[in-house]
Every structure is written in structure tokens, then in C-alpha cells.
Amino acid sequence: MKPYEYLLKHSQELSGKYPGKYIAIVNDEVTSVSDSGIEAFNKARGKDPKKEIHISYIPTEEELVTLL
């Protein structure tokens, strides 16, 4: 599954668990969570430096309302 497909499929769950956080997705799994995208990336990279890592920000409910 592509990272954007994973995000779409799990958007409700991710929004509930990680509002306002950056998440690293590797092989259809959240491998790290942080307040910083760089930190989330570095944590994920430390676990498996050869895997492709995708970083996404999970907006808070307030941020979503602002976007509308």
C-alpha cells in the first residue's frame, strides 16, 4: 500500500491518536511519532536505515476547522 493510501485508510485512527504530531510511516506502519518532522524521520531512520520513510503531519481538529 502506498503511504497516501495508508493515510486515507487509517485517517480516523491516526487523527485520534496523533493530533498535532508528525508520524513516520514505513511499510504500512507508524514507526515513530514526534513534534518535529525531522525528529520523527531520524527516529524511524535509526530503526531501519535502508527502508523508505514517509513523514506526515496529523493536524489537530482546530487546524482542520481553520482549513475549511
Backbone phi and psi for residue 29, each to the nearest 5 degrees, phi listed first: -150, 140
- Domain range enclosing 39: 3-67
How confident is the model at residue 48, as a pLDDT?
84
- Which alpha helices (H) appear in 1-68, and where do they start and end? 3-9, 11-17, 37-47, 61-67
Which pTM was predicted? 0.89
Question: In the predicted model, is pLDDT for residue 68 greater than 80?
Answer: no
Domain count, the chain: 1
pLDDT in tens, 3-54: 889 999 999 999 999 999 999 999 999 999 999 999 999 999 998 889 999 9
pLDDT in tens, 48-63: 889 999 999 999 999 9
